[in-house]
Each structure stands twice: as C-alpha cells, then as structure tokens.
Amino acid sequence: MILADKIIELRKKAGWSQEELAEQLGVTRQSVSKWEGAQSVPDMEKVVQMSRLFGVTTDFLLKDELEAPQPAEGETGENLRRVTMEEAALYLSLRKAAAPKMALATFLCVLSPIPLILLSGLAETARFPLPENAAAGLGLCVLLLLVSVAVTIFLICASKVRAFAFLEKEPFETAYGVTGMVQKHQAAFQKTYTRCNIGGTVLCILAVLPLFASICFSVVDIVYVAAVCLLLFMAACGCFLFVLGGTYEAAMQKLLEEGDYTRKNKANSGVYTAISTGYWLLVTAVFLFYTFGPNGNGQAKYSWFIWAIGGVLYGVLAAVLGAIRHMKR
C-alpha cells in the first residue's frame, strides 16, 4: 500500500474530510488532494504530523511494504467493503445519467400544485364556466398525475443504484486510483456545480417578487393566484438546478467520503433522516387539518402558504442540524 492510499484510509477512518485534515496540518485542501492522488509527496515534517494525528509510525506511512497496523484494543478490525475502479466508474456514470431525470422529477413535484391553484382561482371568476368543485377535482387529478410521474422517475433512478446503497450508509475503502479518478471528475464538474447552485439560489430568491408585486399593485384575486403560480414555477426551476448539480456532486462526495458522507456523519445519518421525515409528516398533517379539518374550507388555494412556511422553517432546521453536525466533528 503506497503513501497516498494510507493517507486516504487513515483520514476516512478518523472521519475527516480533506478540508479538516488540511486544517489540522496547516496546509490547503489542494495539497491533501494531491497527496491522496499520488501527484505529490508531503515533506518529512508533515509526515511526522500525520503520524501523530493518526497514531501510527512514520515507518508505516513511508514504507509501502508495511500493511495497515493491527487494530488497537477494543476495535473490531473488521474488513471494509472495497470499491473497485470499475464499480466507481459505473456508479458515477449512472448518477450522471440520472441527474437530469431526478431534476425533472423534482421540478414536477414542485410544479404539481399549480393546476389546482390556478383552476380553483379561475373557477371563482365569472368568465370561467367550470364549477368550483369540478375545477378543484380536475386540478387535484393533474396534481396526482404529476406526482405519480415524478415518483416513478425517482424509483427507477433509485433501482439502478440499489447495489451502491452502502456508499451512504457504511464505511468502505477504495482500490488504488479510485480517489484520484473521482477528484479529477469533481474538479472538472466544479464550474457546472457552482453555476447550478447560483442559478437555483437566484431563482428561489426572486420567486417571491411576483407575489409581493401582486400584493402591492393589485386588488384582483386572480392576480394573486397567478402570482402564486409564478412563484411555484420559479421555485421549481430553482429546485431543478439544485438537483441537476447536486446529484452528481453528491455521488462524488459519497465515493470520497466527504461532506455529508464522512464516516462520522454516516453514523448519525439515521437520526437526521428520522428528524427530516418526522418534520415533513408534521407539516403534511398541519396542511390536511387546516384544509380539511372541522374549521377548514376544503380548498387548498387558501392553505398553500403552509408549504411555503414549512419550506422556510425546514431551511432553518437543516442549518441547525448542520451546525450540530459540524460541532460534533
């Protein structure tokens, strides 16, 4: 095992990202990335620092013939699943192909309430011949159809990478050259990822402008309805960009065990997933009770704001959970 592989294995075992190891050593993340990609070699001072950080000898780090040290007392010494170059390349190609499909599915989910809101709003105007109940029923049918298509796409994409589910749940090791290959893909994709994030952020921020404008300059209900529909459309476009860039970036982070997929984060992922699931179940329950409960009017166009508030509060919750996760590192 060469030095590059030993640094990768020890860093992952410690549950650190490249940024965190770089901070401990007083170097840049790019330096650590080059060491792990066998593009450069750390000087002797950094080798000594790493031996102290990881609790191994400098001989172990520098001598290729020395294999991994025996686990300390109390450790299991379990064999980790090994990801080969072929498996890593296949996984990346599948996620890259799935990214636009998953982005489209997300777009459809966010877009799905628009027909219901728009038809219900039009039904209240004298010029639209469709009764309110028929408009609401038609809008609900379109909503369910769009969500069904989106869920089908999600399930198909998930089924293709089911064999790689362990990447986000279990610690693993990679074959020689895998880390360097993934890092090259990540560097090449960085500009696209940044553009997607910027575009998605701008669209989500600007999405509220039509609603504010309708409140300030109009007293006609149908204008409010149109503004809400435009808000959802712009938010859907923003989510499309987030998922388009984030799906492939997340796949590379999983293979590198970085970001949200370090070994420490994997150990806590079940807790955070349960919190997120419970939160959205609660929001759904509030929406259904407010809309169809004893005091509800059965019209979702008057309770859509619950989802908007829920989305904002979820952003706050995600930030808090992220801060807690960072403090535990």
Domain boundary among 207, 224, 256: 256
Backbone angles phi, psi at 126, to 5 degrees: -70, -25
Amino acid present at 63: K
Domain count, the chain: 3
Q: Is position 68 within any domain?
A: no
Cα–Cα distance measured from residue 268 to residue 174, given in angstroms and rounded to the nearest whole number:
22
According to DSSP H, which parts of 168-220 are helical? 178-206, 209-217
Q: Are 110 and 127 found together in one domain?
A: yes
Domain match, 279 and 298 both: yes
User: For 169-195, b where at least 16 C-beta lie within 10 A, e where not — what string?
Assistant: eebbbbeeebbbbbbebbeebeeebee
Spell out the per-residue pLDDT of the chain, length 329, in tens: 788 888 888 888 777 888 888 888 888 988 888 888 888 888 888 888 888 888 888 888 888 766 655 443 344 445 678 888 899 999 999 999 999 999 999 999 989 888 888 888 888 776 677 787 888 788 889 989 999 999 999 999 999 999 998 888 888 888 878 888 898 999 999 999 999 999 999 998 998 888 888 877 766 778 888 888 898 899 999 999 999 999 999 999 999 888 878 877 776 666 667 787 788 788 888 877 877 777 766 665 567 677 767 777 776 777 676 666 656 55
Residue that terminates a domain, selected from 228, 256, 284 = 256
Could you tell me which of 96, 269, 123 has the C-alpha nearest to residue 188? Answer: 96
Verify that 99 and 198 share a domain, yes or no: yes
Q: Closest Cα partner for 11 from 76, 74, 67, 55? A: 55
- 252 within 8 A of 182, measured Cβ to Cβ: yes
Question: Structural domain of residue 17, as residue ranges?
Answer: 3-63
Other Cβ atoms less than 10 A from the Cβ of 263: the count is 16
pTM of the prediction? Answer: 0.70
Task: Please name the helix (run of DSSP H) or strand (run of DSSP E) that holds residue 82, with its range, or none.
Answer: strand 81-83
Same domain, yes or no: 251 and 148? yes
CATH of the domain at 48: 1.10.260.40
Could you give the C-alpha distances from 151 to 13, 103, 200, 234, 244, in angstroms and in order? 36, 12, 22, 21, 17
Total residues found in the chain within this entry: 329
Same domain, 241 and 328: no
